[in-house]
């Protein structure tokens, strides 16, 4: 006997709820641990929250007795500058490869795509040597420069401009606009959807980077949040409660950005902007 539409909806909702709980369980454990004392972290049986003995001192200690504000500012600076340059270069590259179609553009773009198969770890040593030679080692620019050119972002923008209505650019040309003016006044406003998507994805990826700060930074005043978390562990040993409190504080900016732009992000995913 076939199931009714209500029964199918109930089963589907239950499955989605179960999958959602699986994904959110690590976050709940992190939040629970951040509000405990150290001797309660691995207690048996597990207690999600001790209502009568919530330990808020983990957060107050991090906010007042560590360099968390400095780590936060460094992360925000690196991410904002990196994302801004990445989006600009991705839009320019995608426009050139997808719309202008100059001679040899397909061959050059193929060479770009080949670089996606190179493991990122293989590029760290050449970058380290180059930054030491030009004097950018132990600066935030050592974190920003490798992030401003992203082949995948250029590829996605190219896919958008391949399906871009050429009549709009031609109309701009007839009104006296050149290549750059038509790009700024016509192409970029219409590319808002893929640019927003790439901006959010780039923000998430760059915010969590660990290997670059670990290799390129030595001064503690330049540490980003991932490096601050690592140094916190070295300084305080295995104090998991404080580490989880720092991790909770570290994800607040990411959640804030996503919640503020989630509507536009979802619309950009379901739209045809990145389908090519």
pLDDT tens-digit series, residues 34-56? 888 878 887 788 788 777 788 88
Domains and CATH numbers, the chain: 58-270 (1.10.3720.10)
pLDDT tens-digit series, residues 225-249? 888 887 766 555 667 888 888 888 8
Confidence band of 3 (pLDDT split at 50, 70, 90): low
Q: Is the pLDDT confidence value at 170 over 80?
A: no
Q: Which of 2-6, 51-55, 130-134, 172-176 has the lowest mean pLDDT?
A: 2-6
Identify the residue with better confidence: 37 or 86.
86
User: Which residue reads 């629970």 in tokens?
Assistant: 32
The tokens for 66 are: 């560590």
Identify the residue with better confidence: 51 or 196.
196
For position 271, what pLDDT does the model report?
57
**pLDDT, average across residues 81-98:** 90
This prediction has a pTM of 0.82
The tokens for 127 are: 């970058």
**DSSP notation for 75-104:** HHHHHHHHHHHHHHHHHHHHHIIIII--TT
Helix (H, G, I), strand (E, B) or coil at 39: helix
Name the DSSP class of 253. H
Buried b / exposed e over 76-97, threshold 16 CB at 10 Å, is eebbebbbebbbebbbbbbbbb
């Amino acid at each position: 006997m076939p199931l009714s539409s209500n029964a199918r909806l109930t089963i589907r909702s239950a499955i989605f709820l179960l999958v959602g709980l699986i994904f959110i369980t690590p976050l709940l454990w992190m939040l629970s641990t951040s509000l405990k004392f150290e001797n309660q972290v691995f207690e048996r049986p597990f207690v999600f929250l001790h209502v009568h003995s919530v330990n808020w001192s983990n957060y107050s200690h991090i906010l007042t007795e560590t360099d968390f504000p400095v780590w936060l500012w460094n992360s925000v600076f690196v991410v904002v500058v990196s994302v801004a340059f990445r989006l600009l270069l991705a839009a320019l590259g995608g426009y050139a490869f997808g719309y202008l179609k100059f001679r040899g553009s397909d061959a050059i773009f193929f060479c770009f795509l080949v670089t996606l198969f190179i493991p990122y770890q293989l590029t760290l040593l050449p970058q380290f040597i180059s930054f030491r030679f030009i004097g950018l080692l132990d600066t935030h620019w050592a974190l920003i420069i490798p992030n401003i050119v992203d082949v995948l972002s250029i590829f996605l923008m190219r896919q958008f401009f391949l399906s871009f209505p050429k009549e709009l650019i031609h109309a701009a040309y007839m009104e006296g606009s050149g290549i750059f003016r038509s790009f700024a006044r016509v192409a970029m406003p219409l590319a808002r959807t893929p640019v927003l998507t790439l901006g959010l994805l780039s923000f998430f990826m760059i915010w969590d980077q660990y290997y670059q700060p670990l290799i390129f930074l030595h001064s503690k005043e330049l540490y980003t949040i991932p490096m601050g978390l690592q140094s916190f562990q070295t300084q305080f040993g295995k104090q998991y409660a404080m580490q989880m409190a720092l991790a909770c504080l570290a994800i607040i900016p990411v959640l804030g950005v996503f919640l503020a732009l989630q509507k536009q992000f979802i619309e950009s995913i379901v739209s045809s902007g990145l389908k090519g």
